[in-house]
Amino acid sequence: MEEITIFREFIGDNPTTRILEFLIEGKDFDYSLTDIANNSGVSWRTVHRIFPRFIKNNMVIKTRSIGRAQLYKINDKNESVNKLIELFNRLLIEDLRTIENKQLIKV
């Protein structure tokens, strides 16, 4: 069974959150929809159903085409996306502090 991440625990574990989490983690890279589906644990069909909303809301941008594949990345110029990235980073930092504190108590 897959362990739930702190981000999904906080926001909710659903396909949209899984896709966002994957794109935030790899924010410096671009991906095809197949890559996004395979790496986020979301079915290809669900990615194709959800992704138009990401494009419409300017949360992702098309970066280039390779053959028939379109590549996308998270739009870090979008203020809402930046807030999500900030939340993602804060949750990670808080989780690391919690783990650190637990290890210090054990010693």
With b for 16 or more beta-carbon neighbours within 10 A and e for fewer, the 38-47 pattern comes to: eebebeeebb
CATH code of the domain covering residue 20: 1.10.10.10
Is 80 part of any domain? yes
Which pTM value belongs to this model?
A: 0.89
Q: What integer pLDDT is reported at residue 34 of this predicted model? A: 96
Domain span at residue 67?
A: 8-106
Report the domain count for the chain.
1
Q: What integer pLDDT is reported at residue 100 of this predicted model? A: 72
Is 2 part of any domain? no
Does 102 have pLDDT greater than 80? no
3-class state of residue 5 by DSSP = coil
Q: What integer pLDDT is reported at residue 99 of this predicted model? A: 76
Report the length, in residues, of the chain. Answer: 107
Residue 36, Cα to own-chain centre: how many angstroms?
A: 9
Q: Summarize the confidence of residues 2-11 as an average pLDDT.
A: 90
Q: Which residue has the higher pLDDT, 73 or 95?
A: 73
Q: Whose CA is closest to 18, among 37, 40, 45?
A: 40
Give 26's pLDDT tier (boundaries 50, 70, 90): very high
Q: What integer pLDDT is reported at residue 105 of this predicted model? A: 72
